[in-house]
């Protein structure tokens, strides 16, 4: 029996992880493709009068087997992959792309949608039905359904090849990251590193059959190592490993792949009648076009770069006899923070055990939205690190299942993200969502829990905001539910939640020493408050550099042959100082070359304008102001894409968003 081929009989319809085997995936995937194709063919051949119900609603109900397979597969291939899953990814990606192109380029389906669309004003549709009709019509037009057959054929080939290239890009990066190891064999070379990091490195070395300590060039390990290690040459070695991932001229090099993806995307959108990929990609966002994106980046760049240069001068002055390099920034910034504010991550981390921070996030959601999280230790899970929770309303109504997968491991890709094993919908009956947050926090050791830095706390609250967006969704149609919103809006529900994660009153509630259980002191909180915009020039500059690099790749009308030369020219043109690297360089910029953020990495800053402006309501009215919290739930977290998101934001805030709120928050306002 293949578990994917019928509805799951597990509690709440959770995937039966223990019974699903890799050999089940591809046969079920192929059967899912066939089922959905037959369902679309039935819609195409329906001779009854075209209605919303027998067209759009029928499409929304289709593909149940495929949804089960893909939600399971893509979650596992990101969070707990292996060679077998990686190979399946190579097989599934291009085939899925061809299938989706077949559906989206169906003349018969589009004729039905277009028939309804041209008569939409007379159909007496609900607001959500009208939204779905307009969104689907737009999706089909942008997919190329109106193109002649020869161009449709070429477009399908392009999309299939892009899909294959994205899989290769991801797998190259994961293999390069796991191979990029700093091996330390002398105990004196560990000076300055926190004990839990040392223990984790020892465990990793032991698992690889090596003596000493192994440090992987992952983002989490990198920042902690560069902040703590007193040895300049070791900081430089790990930093070099990190920034050269997939850029070493070997079989896992991503330079040519990046150029190939960019070239294919350009051909794709030119077939569709656009000048550049950025024009195409941004058309359906809040920004609408590249000029508005660049205007935002330019507005922030001048004060951010000026502040970064002042920060660099301070850091260089701390050791004027030594050359100051990019790999030194974190170390000297931490020394400067200790000097100016008498504060270090080492002093704060004992108060930030991962379970305490998680429970703090849960408490915020309970006070804002009246929901509670009940741990379940008996539900199916795909890895022993995973924790699961029921999410319930005040009246005990179950609204979702929430998984957290917090700790780094070699089988997990880098970064942090939210995804779903099943999205919310209510087309026939209320289907509760099954949501997962995946992070790469340091794992617990034999004598201490996982201890987080303030940056980790920000990440946890950020991803929790995404999770709430999925859990609190109240849409009828799955295509409009949860996080299915414009890309430069999707980060707003996550980023506004970060504000509670750094609020001193909230911190006082959950930040307790993992050994002594005493609450974090007002003295430490005062220091944290004072360091709120510390090093903000650096943080903003490295982000802006990545955003400009992304935009530059997708505003091209002719793709370069040398990705590194192109990247260098872009960063020189914006005036990036050499001691700061782009947060993501081309060969490991998965957001834009292997995920859904092509021409969209600016979205985090665009959404921060919304979150800075939106959170000011709570600053004015109170941290848990009841009416404002209800508006936040109804107009932001629950509504998904059922209405225009800018209209929803203006209804929530009472006015259009203002960039000045972001500048003030980052310490750049006059």
- 239 alpha-carbon distance from chain centroid: 23
pLDDT digits (tens, 9 = 90+) for 610-646: 999 999 999 999 999 999 999 999 999 999 999 999 9
Does residue 463 carry a catalytic annotation?
Answer: yes
DSSP annotation of 190 reads G
Q: What percent of the chain has pLDDT over 70?
A: 100
DSSP β-ladder status, 398-407 and 434-441: parallel
Is 490 in contact with 607 (CB distance < 8 Å)? Answer: yes
* pLDDT score for 549: 98
Instruction: With cut-offs at 50, 70 and 90, classify the pLDDT of residue 219.
Output: confident
* pLDDT score for 128: 97
pLDDT digits (tens, 9 = 90+) for 169-198: 999 999 999 999 999 999 999 999 999 899
Burial 281-300 (b: 16+ CB within 10 A, else e): bbeebbbeebebbbebbebb
pLDDT digits (tens, 9 = 90+) for 558-571: 999 999 999 999 99
Return d(Cα 127, Cα 173) in angstroms, integer: 43
pTM given for the model? 0.92
pLDDT digits (tens, 9 = 90+) for 221-238: 999 999 999 999 999 999
Return d(Cα 460, Cα 106) in angstroms, integer: 42
- The answer, yes or no, to whether residue 359 has pLDDT greater than 90, is yes
List 176, 463, 542, 567, catalytic entry: 463
Burial class (CB in 10 A: 0-12, 13-18, 19+), 166: buried
- The answer, yes or no, to whether residue 220 has pLDDT greater than 90, is no
Three-state DSSP state, 216: strand
Mean pLDDT, residues 350-375: 98
Burial class (CB in 10 A: 0-12, 13-18, 19+), 103: middle
Residues 6 or more apart whose CB falls under 8 angstroms from that of 27 comprise 2
* pLDDT score for 446: 86
* Cα angle 263-265-267, degrees, rounded to a multiple of 5: 70
Please give the domain boundaries of the chain with CATH numbers for all domains.
Answer: 3-146 (1.20.1050.40), 180-243 (no CATH), 255-343+536-601 (1.10.1370.10), 350-530+604-665 (1.10.1370.40)
Strand order in the sheet with 387-392: 372-376, 387-392, 398-407, 434-441, 417-422
Mean pLDDT, residues 256-279: 98
Instruction: With cut-offs at 50, 70 and 90, classify the pLDDT of residue 670.
Output: low
* pLDDT score for 669: 81
pLDDT digits (tens, 9 = 90+) for 457-500: 999 999 999 999 999 999 999 999 999 999 999 999 999 999 99
Q: Is the dihedral of CA 408, 410, 414, 416 positive or negative?
A: negative
- The answer, yes or no, to whether residue 658 has pLDDT greater than 90, is no
Neighbours of 590 (CB within 10 A): 20
pLDDT digits (tens, 9 = 90+) for 424-466: 999 999 999 999 999 999 999 888 999 999 999 999 999 999 9
- The answer, yes or no, to whether residue 580 has pLDDT greater than 90, is yes
* pLDDT score for 414: 86
* pLDDT score for 321: 87
Return d(Cα 327, Cα 233) in angstroms, integer: 9
* Cα angle 333-334-339, degrees, rounded to a multiple of 5: 95
* pLDDT score for 249: 96
Burial class (CB in 10 A: 0-12, 13-18, 19+), 154: middle
Q: For residue 637, what are the CA distances in angstroms to 113, 356, 468?
A: 29, 24, 7
pLDDT digits (tens, 9 = 90+) for 529-542: 999 899 999 999 99
């Amino acid at each position: 029996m293949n578990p994917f081929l019928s509805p799951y009989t597990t509690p709440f319809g959770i995937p039966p992880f223990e019974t699903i085997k890799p050999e089940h995936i591809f046969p079920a995937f192929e059967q899912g493709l066939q089922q959905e194709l037959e369902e679309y063919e039935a819609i195409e051949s329906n001779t009854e009068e075209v209605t919303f119900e027998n067209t759009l609603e029928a499409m929304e109900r289709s593909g149940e087997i495929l949804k089960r397979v893909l939600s399971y597969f893509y979650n596992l291939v990101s969070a707990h992959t292996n060679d077998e899953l990686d190979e399946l990814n190579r097989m599934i990606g291009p085939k899925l792309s061809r299938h989706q192109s077949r559906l989206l380029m169906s003349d018969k389906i589009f004729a039905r949608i277009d028939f309804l669309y041209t008569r939409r004003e007379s159909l007496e549709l609900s607001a959500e039905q009208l939204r779905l009709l307009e969104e689907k019509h737009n999706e089909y037009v942008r997919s190329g359904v109106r193109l002649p057959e020869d161009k449709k054929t070429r477009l399908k080939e392009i999309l299939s090849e892009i899909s294959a290239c994205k899989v290769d890009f991801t797998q190259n990066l994961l293999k390069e990251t796991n191979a990029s190891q700093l091996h330390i064999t002398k105990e004196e070379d560990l000076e300055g590193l926190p004990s839990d990091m040392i223990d984790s490195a020892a465990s990793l070395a032991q698992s690889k059959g090596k003596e000493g300590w192994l440090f992987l060039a992952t983002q989490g390990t990198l920042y902690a190592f560069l902040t703590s290690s007193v040895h300049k040459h070791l900081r430089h070695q790990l930093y070099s490993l990190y920034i050269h991932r997939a850029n070493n001229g070997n079989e896992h090099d991503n330079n040519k792949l990046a150029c190939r993806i960019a070239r294919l995307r350009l051909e794709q959108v030119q077939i569709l009648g656009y000048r550049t990929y950025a024009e195409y990609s941004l058309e359906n966002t809040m920004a609408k076009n590249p000029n508005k994106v660049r205007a935002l980046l330019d507005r922030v760049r001048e004060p951010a770069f000026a502040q970064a240069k002042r920060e660099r001068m301070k850091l260089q002055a701390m050791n004027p006899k030594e050359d100051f390099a990019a790999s030194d920034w974190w170390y000297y910034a931490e020394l400067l923070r200790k000097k100016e504010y008498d504060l270090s991550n080492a002093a704060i981390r004992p108060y930030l055990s991962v379970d305490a921070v998680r429970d703090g996030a849960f408490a915020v959601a309970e006070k804002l939205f009246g929901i509670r999280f009940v741990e379940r230790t008996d539900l199916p899970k795909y890895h022993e690190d995973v924790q699961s929770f029921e999410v319930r309303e005040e009246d005990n109504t179950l609204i979702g299942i929430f998984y957290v997968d917090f700790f780094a491991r070699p089988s997990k890709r880098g970064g942090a993200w939210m995804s779903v094993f099943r999205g919310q919908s209510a087309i026939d009956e209320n289907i509760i969502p099954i949501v997962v947050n995946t992070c790469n926090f340091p794992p617990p050791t034999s004598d201490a829990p996982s201890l987080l830095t303030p940056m980790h706390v920000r990440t946890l609250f950020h991803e929790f905001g995404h999770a709430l967006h999925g859990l609190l969704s109240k849409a009828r149609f799955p295509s409009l539910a949860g996080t299915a919103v414009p890309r430069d809006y999707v980060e707003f529900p996550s980023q506004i939640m970060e504000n509670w994660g750094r609020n001193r009153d909230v911190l006082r509630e959950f930040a307790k020493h993992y050994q002594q259980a005493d609450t974090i002191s007002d003295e430490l909180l005062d220091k944290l408050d004072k360091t709120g915009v510390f090093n903000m020039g650096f943080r903003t500059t490295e982000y802006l550099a990545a955003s400009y690099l992304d935009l530059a790749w997708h505003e091209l009308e002719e793709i370069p042959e040398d990705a590194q030369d192109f990247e260098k020219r872009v960063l020189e043109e914006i005036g990036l100082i050499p001691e700061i690297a782009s947060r993501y360089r081309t060969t490991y910029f998965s957001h834009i070359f292997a995920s859904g953020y092509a021409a969209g990495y600016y979205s985090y800053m665009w959404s921060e304008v919304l979150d800075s402006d939106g959170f000011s309501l709570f600053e004015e009215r109170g941290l848990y102001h009841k009416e404002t919290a209800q508006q936040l739930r109804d107009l932001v977290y629950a509504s998904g894409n059922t209405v225009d998101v800018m209209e929803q934001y203006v209804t929530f805030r009472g006015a259009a968003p203002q960039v000045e709120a972001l500048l003030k928050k980052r310490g750049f306002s006059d």
